[in-house]
Chains A and B, each alone.
Chain A
Amino acid sequence: MIRLDKVSKRYPNGHYGLVDVSLTIRRGEFIFLVGPSGAGKSSLVRLLYREEAASQGEVYVDQFKLSTLRRGQVARLRRQLGVVFQDVKLLPQRTVYQNVAFAMEVVGASTRDIHKRVPQVLELVGLGRNRENFPHQLSGGEQQRVGIARALVNNPIYVIADEPTGNLDPETAHEIMKLFVEINRRGATVIMATHAKEIVNQMQRRVVAIEQGRVVRDEVRGVYGYES
């Protein structure tokens, strides 16, 4: 379970990313974070994997209490999470296969496990035939899939995605979204910040709307609710 308890995030320039946000996310949920650009969606996401720390309040991810997390434990927290970044963050000099295998290498997986697991995940995201390509040889949607494969490869409990369909055409975005549904169906909790109005409306999942750093709406079967 992920729980935010009266969390505020104030940046050094005085700007507030989040104000007094309380939110509970149970395991197995599929949750959309929606809201205008700059509303605080990314701030919230970054707090979850501890790229940033809350200024006030407390964030809990399972047994981890993030404000008191020591440096060594940050790595352990992140191993429970699979993060799909807004800017994908692929390593340009490495192939698709290596990019995904990398995430297993750094957590100390054996070569045998890597050889077994990486092709499975690439197959799942539909990149089984692109494993030897480099990122620049792929389309935006394919790159995003590599990022998703990397997030999934260590079987995370929570998959956190920050605008994974941001720069993609609607059709590709739809494909990517289907992938997340599949991931969720297989048991992972999915937390996704997004602008994809059509998809949110269509999926009928929990929607948390954030405006100016505050949670203004939290609906179990929500809609996007903004003019896009």
Chain B
Amino acid sequence: MNLNGIGYIVRETLRNLARNSWMSLASVSTVAISMFVLSFFLVLTTNLNHVTTVLQSQVEMKVFVNPKVGRLKEISLLNKARHWPNVRHIDFFTKQQAANSLKREFPNQRDLVALISKSNPLFDGYDVFTYRPQAIPRLATRFEKDPIVHAVVYEGQVVTRLAKLSKVLRWVGWVVEGLLGLATLFIIVNTIRLAVFARRREVQVMKLVGATDWFIRWPFVLEGVILGLLGAVVADLVVDAGYRWLTGVAAIALPFWPLASLASVMTQVLLFTLIGGVFVGILASLVALRRFLRV
């Protein structure tokens, strides 16, 4: 493709877009809506993943030791467990320390403070931190096998449920997006088919005087790409503004809720919508042209 060819393609594309300006507008809007829905799911899954990672990084396991086990045995288990795989860090705490931290956490609960001060019902134990959250269940069983261990408590279930939810959401997202993508495809196909139809004589003559299929296709493919990209950009602008607003509101209303950062959300959204827009645009133009190129 030489420079003359490129000039020709750009001229033709712009002419087509201008000629069908209303249909082009309709296509851009449809792409924008479908891309917006895609972005919605992306924002949702990105945030779920974010929450999951945050929770995972906080995940620890509490191992409680039977009462009346001697300090020596406790320390020996501590030293043993330090070398178990996936153990990042272990802290030993006595029931006294546990009581103190409880008191610090809930200074206003007088009954509680009185209760644990009088006869401490708490246990000695360990805070265990792991490298990978997936390792927790196995480590937990390993601790439970030790005769001095009373109980093991961890928040693994929350993490697994979140991961499952995010998986389900992603699937729902893909299905909805697939359907919307199909609808978008049809609309763009129609827009471009109108453009091709308006120029079917030209296309026919072009073929008869020796134009290659690709020479004829390029302007229409470019048209499709432009429609797809414009729609994606519109959606991206809306999502960007919307998410900025959301993070602003959430910072006041839900200060503890860990929202994913704007940057991390927008990289996902831009990536998927722009690629999606180009892909839908190209595919639609190729579909629209097929029939007319058989000359």
The chain A residues found within 8 Å of chain B, CB to CB, are: 49, 51, 71-72, 74-79, 81, 83, 85, 89, 91, 102-103, 105-111, 150, 154
Contacts and interface: CB of A to CB of B under 8 A. Distances in A.
B209 interface: yes
Contacts of A75: 207, 210-213, 215
Given A75-B215, A102-B209, 19 more contacts: A49-B208, A51-B295, A75-B207, A75-B212, A77-B210, A78-B208, A81-B210, A89-B201, A89-B205, A91-B205, A102-B202, A102-B205, A102-B206, A103-B210, A106-B211, A107-B211, A108-B4, A111-B7, A150-B209
A106 B4 contact: no
A91 B209 contact: no
Interface of B is mostly: helix
B213 A72 contact: yes
Nearest to B3: A110
B94 interface: no
12 contacts: A74-B207, A75-B211, A75-B213, A77-B210, A78-B207, A83-B209, A91-B201, A105-B4, A105-B8, A107-B209, A110-B2, A154-B210
B5 A83 contact: no
A16 B22 CA distance: 47
Contact of A106 (B2, B215, B295): B215
B206 A106 contact: yes
Interface in B201-260: 201-202, 204-213, 215-216
A14 B99 CA distance: 98
B155 to A, nearest CB: 62
Question: Which 10 A-B pairs give the minimum distances between C-beta atoms?
Answer: A106-B211, A78-B210, A79-B210, A75-B212, A103-B209, A106-B206, A75-B210, A89-B205, A110-B4, A107-B210
Chain B: interface residue count, which band? 20 to 34
A72 B202 CA distance: 19
Given A91-B201, A91-B202, A106 B213 contact: no
B123 to A, nearest CB: 79
A98 B266 CA distance: 47
Contacts of A111: 4, 7
Contacts of B295: 51
B204 A89 contact: yes
Contacts of B204: 89
A75 B208 CA distance: 8
Contact of A89 (B4, B208, B210, B216): B208
Given A91-B201, A91-B202, A106-B215, A78 B209 contact: yes
Contacts of B8: 105
Contact of A83 (B208, B212, B216): B208
Contacts of A77: 210
Contacts of B7: 111
B212 A72 contact: yes
Nearest to A112: B4
Contacts of A108: 2, 4-5, 215
A75 B26 CA distance: 35
Nearest to A109: B4
Contacts of B205: 89, 91, 102
A149 B206 CA distance: 15
Contacts of B216: 106
Contacts of A79: 210
A100 to B, nearest CB: 10
Contacts of A81: 210
Contacts of A107: 209-211
Interface in B63-91: none
Nearest to A93: B202
B209 A106 contact: yes
Contacts of A103: 209-210
Nearest to A77: B210
A110 to B, nearest CB: 5
A75 B215 CA distance: 10
Nearest to A91: B202
B293 to A, nearest CB: 8
A158 to B, nearest CB: 12
Contacts of A89: 201, 204-205, 208
Nearest to B5: A108
B30 to A, nearest CB: 29
A51 B205 CA distance: 11
B199 to A, nearest CB: 9
Contacts of B210: 75-79, 81, 103, 106-107, 154
Most B-side CB within 10 Å, residue of A76, A106, A110 = A106
A104 B210 CA distance: 9
